[in-house]
Amino acid sequence: MREQLEALRDEALQLVNQASTQKELNDVRIKYLGKKGPITEVLRGMGKLSAEERPVVGEIANAVRGVIQTELEQRLVDVKQQEMDAKLALEAIDVTLPGRPKQVGQAHLLQQVTDEIEDIFMGLGYTIAEGPEVEQDLFNFEMLNLPKDHPARDMQDSFYITDEILMRTHTSPVQARTMLASKGEPIRILCPGKVYRRDEDDATHSHQFMQVEGLVVGEDISMADLKGTLEAFVKQMFGEAREIRLRPSFFPFTEPSVEVDVSCFKCGGKGCNICKQTGWIEILGAGMVHPHVLEMAEYDSTKMSGFAFGMGIERIAMLKYGVDDIRHFYTNDVRFSEQF
Ligand SMILES: [Zn+2]
For the stretch 330-339, pLDDT in tens is: 988 889 988 9
pTM, two decimals, is 0.69
Residue 63 clears pLDDT 80, i.e. is over it: yes
How far, in Å, from the CA of 281 to the mean position of ligand 1?
8
Residues in the annotated binding site for Mg(2+): 255
**Which residues are found with C-beta within 5 Å of the ion, ligand 1?**
264, 266-267, 272, 274-275
CA angle 169, 172, 178 (to 5 degrees): 140
How far, in Å, from the CA of 241 to the mean position of ligand 1?
14
CATH topology of domain 109-337: BirA Bifunctional Protein; domain 2 (3.30.930)
Q: Who wins on pLDDT, 226 or 97?
A: 226
SS3 1: coil
Cβ–Cβ under 8 Å, residues 187 and 217: yes
How far, in Å, from the CA of 263 to the mean position of ligand 1?
8
Q: Give the separation between CA 119 and CA 41, rounded to whole angstroms.
A: 92
How far, in Å, from the CA of 268 to the mean position of ligand 1?
6
119-124 long-range contacts (CB < 8 A, ≥24 apart) are 120/232, 120/233, 120/236, 120/237, 121/190, 121/214, 121/233, 122/190, 123/236, 124/188, 124/229, 124/232, 124/233
Window from 7-16, 33-42, 106-115, 181-190 with minimum mean pLDDT: 33-42
How far, in Å, from the CA of 278 to the mean position of ligand 1?
7
DSSP single-letter state for residue 171 = S
Q: What is the pLDDT of residue 185?
A: 95
| Close Cβ partners of 258 (under 8 Å, ≥ 6 residues apart) | 246, 247, 248, 249, 285, 286, 287
How far, in Å, from the CA of 264 to the mean position of ligand 1?
4
CA 32 vs. chain centroid, Å, equals 64
Nearest to 326 by CA among 197, 226, 237, 216: 197
In single-letter form, the type of residue at position 323 comes to V
Q: Give the separation between CA 60 and CA 69, rounded to whole angstroms.
A: 14
Instruction: For residue 236, give Cα distances in angstroms to 68, 129, 205, 232, 240.
Output: 89, 22, 26, 6, 7
Q: What is the pLDDT of residue 195?
A: 95
Report the chain's mean pLDDT, rounded to a whole number.
91
How far, in Å, from the CA of 141 to the mean position of ligand 1?
36
How far, in Å, from the CA of 240 to the mean position of ligand 1?
16
Residue 49 clears pLDDT 90, i.e. is over it: no
Instruction: For residue 104, give Cα distances in angstroms to 58, 63, 99, 233.
Output: 76, 69, 14, 31
How far, in Å, from the CA of 14 to the mean position of ligand 1?
92
In single-letter form, the type of residue at position 16 comes to V
Q: Give the separation between CA 115 and CA 316, rounded to whole angstroms.
A: 12
How far, in Å, from the CA of 315 to the mean position of ligand 1?
16
